[in-house]
Amino acid sequence: MAAALPLALVVLLLLGPGGPALAEPPRDSLREELVITPLPSGDVAATFQFRTRWDSELQREGVSHYRLFPKALGQLISKYSLRELHLSFTQGFWRTRYWGPPFLQAPSGAELWVWFQDTVTDVDKSWKELSNVLSGIFCASLNFIDSTNTVTPTASFKPLGVANDTDHYFLRYAVLPREVVCTENLTPWKKLLPCSSKAGLSVLLKADRLFHTSYHSQAVHIRPVCRNARCTSISWELRQTLSVVFDAFVTGQGKKDWSLFRMFSRTLTEPCPLASESRVYVDITNYSQDNETLEVNPPPTTTYQDVILGTRRTYAVYDLLDTALINNSRNLNLQLKWKKPPENGYIHYQPAQDRLQPHLLEMLIQLPANSVTKVSIQFERALLKWTEYTPDPNHGFYVSPSVLSALVPSLVAAKPVDWEGSPLFNTLFPVSDGSSYFVRLYTEPLLVNLPTPDFSMPYNVICLTCTVVAVCYGSFYNLLTRTFHIEEPSKGGLAKRLANLIRRARGVPPL
Amino acid sequence: MAATYCLGRAFTALAALLLLSFGSFAASQIEDQAEQFFRSGHTNNWAVLVCTSRFWFNYRHVANTLSVYRSVKRLGIPDRNVESKIDNDMACNPRNPKPATVFSHKNMELDVYGDDVEVDYRSYEVTVENFLRVLTGRIPPSTPRSKCLLSDDRSSILIYMTGHGGNGFLKFQDSEEITNIELADAFEQMWQKRRYNELLFIIDTCQGASMYERFYSPNIMALASSQVGEDSLSHQPDPAIGVHLMDRYTFYVLEFLEEINPASQTNMNDLFQVCPKSLCVSTPGHRTDLFQRDPKNVLITDFFGSIRKVEITTETISLQQHSEMESSFKDDQMDEELMEPLKYAEQLPVAQMIHQKPKPKDWHPPGGFILGLWALIIMVFFKTYGIKHMKFIF
């Protein structure tokens, strides 16, 4: 009895702290971000990122309560013992030359790569079943993934999450380039979000605007991450990203003013109530407020600086959870306006008229430093009349050289002193100030090879035709129209009698 | 005396009246019961919508299928009960001037693609084999649920097919055909496996009536857009999109269905009359001899709508705010198992990659041919030199 009491107390103490912790479900949190990047070519790229982080270890605890983390994916992780899953659907190609480097690029079509846990015995079987299940979830033809388009990379595609050992036997990678991405892939992707498309940044996800773009890529990334700084336990992170590039000419009708309403036909009204962070970032690295080339409206209250992809970038931050932001106007419609268009210039073009006047193209351009500017013109070669050819047409025809007149900044300022008297060539081009000098340069003339006809052909044709006519037609004509009749020989005329007289005188027999 | 007589008469009249009313009440009850007998008695609805054409110029077939999909969803059938097989390359086709839209009417009035569409079988998966497998239920075990037709013997199924067809066959994706005999046999398999209670088959192709000629299973009602020898014609082109947007028969069916709501009492006879020859140019046909009930008792919503199980409850559930942050320390302390810290993998470990050896392939024992060859060589050796040499080996 006396021993039982402390035993009971000990038991109670052991059970005490365990009780309430077991009853509470694992914590999960949602962070949503939208990054708007104006691109050098006048287009604008928008990248959404939704991160759902779940502090649970699915393998060990038998989980049945899902809150923010979608149940469809949670069940996939536990059933197929996944360590990581990366699935992307892309339409279009990221043009690095015009748009700069991408945050996260994906191949055209569908790409799926998965790391399985090392407890999986038949990886190929799990891989096949997993691709079938995913094809049902995302309405895509991922069931066409089989051994003919699956590889096991040995050096790349290391796990992006926490991993202590990496035996590439448990990695599988497949790409379906023929896969078409459309609204039916976006719909289940949106349904995985905690706020679906009802609140927060996901109200901007309207299919008819998102697919009217030059590049559309949506992806799902599931990986384990460190739960805390010491990294003694893991959490599962579901990252859903969507990148689109709006084309200035196709979507924007040539104007380079962008706003959330023009891009998505929606504005932001409230953050997702389930999100712990809900922010919009606008890339203002190249355009600061002093320079006044890009104006961002409403003006941002905070900025954020970081080194992204190797360069230091500045972002204007709009926090939707900040009530002051939305209070005034009930909605947030970010506007980006270029105050001064990046290229200002003058262009004059006078097209040519055949046999009347030549082409004339004049352009005033501002060359940026350390850059190469290429100007190219397409032209067509026309056939000349045969009398217009010069006697030596195979030499080619010349196009006059182009003229470049430039005002080049001087390294050393010149003093305008006594122009008429100075030697050398300074006095030819009058300048107003010495900070730049005027120069006129010329390019090489262009020699164009026009298609040249064979000039001996008319002679050949005439000879041949005349021969044919004379031989064939002539013969038939003669046969048909000529008649033959016998002719009596003539007795002889005066000349013959005279000749006979002379022959008798000579003693030669007569004719 | 006269008063009592009158009263008596009144009483008998009253009694007669009451008896009459009772009689008529009983009669109407019997009529109601008889009426109940002729109602469908299905408990769930399914729809299988197939568009068998590919390529941009067959835009109208995809628009046909999507408009039926839209009506069916609007009238209540949930997405998981709709199996759609569409080559969906129309909406996001580079030739589509308005991406992610499929219109049914010129001037772009009605977008039948919408924002909430789910297509189960896309593109190359629309084949005769997949279609027959879905109908008969002979699907591979790892097929996801959204791609299966999980109907039972109390299901009403709507099957809609459109594309290019001929006398007795329907062309699938320009590379294969399904014949009317195969289709009839598939429906018979469904009947034998008790996979449907009633089936409505609608087909909008040229010579569509030939596809339902061979049906022989009970409880099938069929509609077609044209008779044998006739072509089904398309409705109107749109100058901006550049192709014909819909076929005539389905266009008028869609107009008819837009006026139906989940509670309407319109019956099948109205659907039979939906497109007279003056509008459709072809003669739509229908076949009801296999169907047990009279078409005028069959509601449109029996096939296009859905039965929903609704439970009304009066108890209240209050949603609580999620309590956060305080439990984080407890979690950290409770977790004793993982002592060593985990780390992230290096994405491009150059030194490790250069020095890694390629994995040795699994050793397989030599196959029959190699074994046989070696056995032959050894036998020849010992035959030539005699068996006595073996003692030097062992």
Q: Where would I find the beta strands (DSSP E) of A443-493? A: 446-448
Query: For the segment A342-361, what is each residue's pLDDT rounded down to a tens digit?
Result: 555 678 889 888 889 988 99
ipTM confidence? 0.78
Mutate to test the interface with B, among A131, A135, A227, A274 (most CBs of B within 10 A): A135
Task: Name the token pair of A313.
Answer: 């970038």
Q: What letter represents residue A186's amino acid?
A: L
Cα dist from B135 to A135, A168, A447, A482, B115, whole Å: 20, 41, 71, 92, 28
CA count, 13 A, side-chain hemisphere, B294: 5
Judged by CB atoms closer than 8 Å, whether chains meet at B349 and A129 is answered as no
Confidence check: pLDDT of A130 > 90: yes
B343 interaction partners in chain A (CB closer than 8 Å): 162-164, 231
pLDDT, tens digit, for every residue of B194-224? 999 999 999 999 999 999 999 999 999 999 9
In 3D, which of B211, B229, B232 has the Cα closest to residue B220?
Answer: B211
Residue spans of beta strands (DSSP E) within A320-396: 335-338, 346-350, 360-364
Nearest CA in chain B to A159: B345
Q: What is the maximum span of chain B, computed from C-alpha positions, in angstroms?
A: 147
CB B209, CB B224: distance < 8 Å: yes
What DSSP string describes A383-411?
PPPGGGS-S-GGG-EEEPPPEEEEEEEPS
Q: In chain B, positions 132-171, which contact chain A (CB-CB < 8 Å)?
A: 142-147
Please state, in angstroms and as integers, the Cα–Cα distance from residue B201 to each residue in A505, B48, B162, B208, B225, following that order.
130, 10, 11, 11, 11
**Sign (positive or negative) of CA dihedral A245, A247, A251, A257:** positive
Q: Which residues of A touch B113 (CB under 8 A)?
A: 183
Beta-carbon pairs below 8 A across chains A and B: 135
CB A300 within 8 A of CB A317: yes
Cβ–Cβ of B334/A21 closer than 8 Å?
A: yes
Helices in A250-393 by DSSP H: which ranges?
Answer: 260-264, 323-327
Binning pLDDT at 50, 70 and 90, where does residue B328 land? very low
pLDDT per residue as tens digits for the range A157-206: 999 998 887 889 999 999 999 999 999 999 999 999 998 888 889 999 99
pLDDT level of residue A490 (50, 70, 90 thresholds): confident
Q: How far is CA A246 from CA A36, A39, A124, B42, B255, in A?
A: 11, 10, 40, 49, 36
Q: Please give the Cα distance from A97 to B269 (Å, whole number).
A: 63
A154 chain-B contacts, CB cut-off 8 A: 356, 358-359
Per-residue pLDDT, B6: 61
Q: What is the C-alpha to C-alpha distance for residues A141 and A334, in angstroms, rounded to an integer?
A: 37
What one-character-per-residue DSSP string does A436-449 give?
EEEEEEE---EEE-
Own/partner long-range contacts of A401-404 (Cβ < 8 Å, ≥24 apart): A401/A442, A401/A443, A401/A444, A401/A445, A401/A446, A402/A442, A402/A443, A403/A440, A403/A441, A403/A442, A404/A440, A404/A441, A404/A442, A404/A443
A-chain CB neighbours of B331 within 8 Å are 21, 27, 55
Contact B241, B234 (CB under 8 A): no
The number of beta carbons lying within 10 Å of the beta carbon of residue B253 is 25
Which chain B residue's Cα is nearest to A141? B122
Contact assessment for residue A264 and residue A276, using Cβ atoms and an 8 Å cutoff:
no
Q: In what order do the strands lie in the sheet with B169-172?
A: B165-166, B169-172, B176-179
Confidence of residue A415 (pLDDT cuts 50, 70, 90): low
Token digits of residue A382:
């026309």
Task: Compute the nearest-CA separation of A140 from chain B (Å).
Answer: 7
Q: In what side-by-side order are the strands of the sheet with A335-338? A: A258-259, A335-338, A294-297
Q: Which residues numbered 315-344 in B keep a CB inside 8 Å of some CB on A?
A: 322, 324, 327-328, 330-332, 334-335, 338-339, 341-344
Please give the Cα distance from B250 to B234 (Å, whole number): 9
Total-model pTM: 0.72
Q: Which of B51, B206, B275, B280 is catalytic?
A: B206
> Do B358 and A154 count as a contact with CB atoms less than 8 A apart?
yes
Residue B355 contacts A, CB cutoff 8 Å: no
Question: Inter-chain contact A132–B119, Cβ cutoff 8 Å?
Answer: no
Predicted confidence at residue A241, as pLDDT, reads: 96
Top pLDDT among A429 and B216 is at B216
pLDDT digits (tens, 9 = 90+) for B89-128: 889 988 998 899 999 887 778 889 988 889 999 988 999 9
- Answer yes or no: do B343 and A232 touch at CB < 8 A: no
Position A319, amino acid: D
Which pLDDT tens digit goes with each residue over B280-312?
889 999 999 999 889 888 999 989 988 777 788
A375: pLDDT strictly greater than 70: yes
| Residue, of B54 and B321, whose pLDDT is higher | B54
Tell me which residue of A64, A149, A164 sits closest to A115, measured CA to CA: A164
- Predicted confidence band at A494 (pLDDT cuts at 50, 70, 90)? confident
* Helix (H), strand (E) at residue B376: helix B368-385
Residue B152 has pLDDT above 80, yes or no: yes
Residue A254: the pLDDT is: 60
Q: Residue B359's pLDDT is what?
A: 66
**Cis amide prior to A6 (ω within 30 degrees):** no
A240 strand-pairing partners: A50, A220
Number of Cα atoms under 13 Å in the Cβ half of residue A236 = 28
The model's pLDDT over A272-319, given as tens digits with 9 standing for 90+, comes to 899 999 999 998 887 655 555 677 888 888 889 888 888 888 899 988
Q: What is the DSSP letter of B117?
A: -
Q: Summarize pLDDT for A308-330 with one digit per residue, the tens.
A: 888 888 899 988 888 777 766 67
Residues 6+ positions from B79 with CB-CB distance below 8 Å: B73, B118, B146
**What's the whole-number average pLDDT of chain B?**
84
Mean confidence (pLDDT) of chain A: 84
H-helix segments, B75-201: 128-136, 180-192
Closest-CA residue to B154 (of B310, B309, B311): B309
Active site residue B286: no
Contacts of A216 (CB under 8 A, 6+ apart): A90, A91, A92, A181, A210, A242, A243, A244
pLDDT of residue A493: 82
Evaluated on CA atoms B284, B196, B64, B207, the torsion sign reads: negative
Residue A185, amino acid: N
Is the pLDDT score of B249 beyond 90?
yes
**Alpha carbon distance B154, B157 (integer Å):** 10
Starting from the edge strand earliest in sequence, which strands make up the sheet with B121-122, in order?
Answer: B121-122, B82-86, B44-51, B155-162, B198-204, B220-224, B285-287
Q: Which residues of B touch A90 (CB under 8 A)?
A: none
* B40-69 tens-digit pLDDT: 688 899 999 999 998 899 999 999 999 999
- Determine whether B164 is an active site residue: yes
User: A215: which 2 tokens?
Assistant: 């590049």
pLDDT of residue A292: 53
**Beta-bridge mates of residue A258:** A336
What is the predicted pLDDT for the residue at A426?
A: 67
With residue B171 as reference, give the H or E element that holds it.
strand B169-172
**Mutation for B interface: A60, A178, A208, A237, most B CBs within 10 A:** A208
Task: Write the pLDDT tens digit of every residue in A14-64.
Answer: 444 444 444 566 688 999 999 999 887 778 999 999 999 998 876 655 677
For residue A370, give the amino acid letter. N
